[in-house]
Amino acid sequence: MDQYIQSIVINPEEMITESELTAKDDEILLSVRCDYLIITHQDLVPRFQVLASHRQAMGLTAQVISIEDIYDQYTEGGSNQDKIKQCIKEYAVQKGTLWVLLGGDNTIVPDYDCFASVNSGKYTTTTIPTDLFYAGLDDMDWNDDNDGRACECNEDGDTIDLYPDVFIGRAPVRSDSEASAFVAKVMTYETGDYDPFFHEAALFMGVEVWHTYEGISDAQWRCEALWEAVHKDMEPVLSAPKYRFYDTGTDFDGDSNYIVSASHLVDQISSGYGIMLAETHGSCSSLSLEGSNYFVTGNVADCTNQTRQGVIYTTACNTNWFDHYTDPGLSEGFIRSLNGGSVAYIGSSRYGWGYSVEGPDFTLGPSLAYALEFFKALYYDEYLDSGGGNSIDSSLFNKRLGAVFASHKLYYAPASIRDGANRWLQFSLSGY
């Protein structure tokens, strides 16, 4: 991460890097090296071992460790989350681990709950499930004042590490069959023949969030503005087009009469897109669509994109609430379904954030601003093409989702040292 930051700032010579987490390749014996670590329940180890073997075939050293073994072996600190973090840090320091997959939802691998506040305390929570805790290894204790509000700002009693030292992701599964489906779709995505009209195709979907201006919904205004901003200074690098699917205009037969309904969204997902951006309202188990329509978790079962499952990024509230008592939630439905859905889901476990602006000045707002940086990193970030950090092998980065996800949040880390929407999203945005 130090080297990544140096690649994007204008004064890299001013950076001083003295982290103990910067062991070089030649300092780690191949016999103990672990590039990719999977943490899961002992009952799911065999399923995730299939993924570890797949990573080995890609040239990475990989290992699966059970949550039960971690609890037995790591005894410092009082909580299970502390023990998991101790394990990850040991692997990063002693074995060069760069990638960590949490193989299960919060009932399998517990999340770490963070405090966040927006609009001077109007919106406050202490329970945002924050996997960034497991990646920020320079600060092991995120509740220094030992109160009920972990991850407070420095002046309120806590110091935390917003800069990840490993790339972290979570597979929100619970059962053997769900783990098997997740692993199968990841391997299919990575080993299938490259098809630009799938892997590069983008679907931008949205419906009115607050206002419509000159016959165009704010979702359409903002998403199209995001796309223009992504390509402002550079030509598109993808050969496949972006398709519009908004309540006030689409690229499909019927134009605005082709409404954004659950059945039509099922049809579009089933046709297969490499990436989908959804700008709308949401809940734990639904996306709001046109009129009074909703796409709910149960609709995922109707999707039949099978080997053409891509990445979903949404600004909608709560759709990635993987610690909710309702199971499965929407994001879990997409990830756990083998025959249709998505290979990855990026969204907020709590509120997303935007601006209710009426008129022509449709400012992106915090959630879409994060999405903008995601697309920039995905399409143009040369550092994520060439690799770096601890590895001389560019394939360890090479636009892998974990690297793109970490880099787009990293962009807003400096703006997240105070309470507000940016800090909230640092904690609540999760990527599978």
Give the residue numbers spanning the domain of 202.
Answer: 192-431
Number of domains in the chain: 2
Q: Return the pLDDT at 388.
A: 44
Q: Are residues 351 and 261 in the same domain?
A: yes
CA distance 422 to 312: 21
Q: Which of 45, 33, 41, 46 is nearest to 80 (CA)?
A: 41
**262 and 147 both lie in a single domain:** no
CATH number at residue 281: 3.40.50.1460
Residue where a domain stops, chosen among 168, 201, 228? 168
217: β partners: 212
pLDDT at 335: 97
38 φ, ψ (degrees, to nearest 5): -115, 130
Does residue 184 lie in a domain region? no
With respect to residue 25, please indicate whether it lies within any of the assigned structural domains: yes
The tokens describing 312, both together, are 């979903």
- Domain co-membership, 164 together with 298: no
Bridge partners, 181 (sequence order): none
Per-residue pLDDT of the chain (432 residues; tens, 9 = 90+): 666 666 667 777 776 655 555 455 556 666 689 999 999 999 999 999 999 999 999 888 999 999 999 999 998 768 999 999 999 999 999 999 999 999 999 999 999 999 999 999 999 999 999 999 999 999 999 999 999 899 999 888 899 999 999 999 999 999 999 999 999 999 999 888 888 788 889 999 999 999 999 999 999 999 999 999 988 877 666 656 899 999 999 999 987 789 999 999 999 999 999 999 999 999 999 999 999 899 999 999 999 999 999 999 999 999 999 999 999 999 999 999 999 999 999 999 999 999 998 877 788 999 999 999 999 888 876 655 554 444 434 445 556 888 889 989 999 999 999 999 999 999 999 987
Whether 179 maps to a domain, the answer reads no
Where are the strands (E) in 69-179, listed by range?
Answer: 99-103, 113-118, 123-129, 167-171
Contact present, 92 and 21 (Cβ < 8 Å)? yes
- Do 274 and 238 fall into the same domain? yes
Specify whether the CB–CB gap between 91 and 32 falls below 8 A. Answer: no
Q: Do 222 and 368 touch, CB atoms closer than 8 A?
A: yes
User: Is the domain of 299 the same as that of 390?
Assistant: yes
Find the CATH number of the domain harbouring 158.
3.40.50.10390
Q: What is the dihedral of CA 304, 309, 313, 319, to 10 degrees?
A: 50
The CA distance from 95 to 284, in Å, is 37
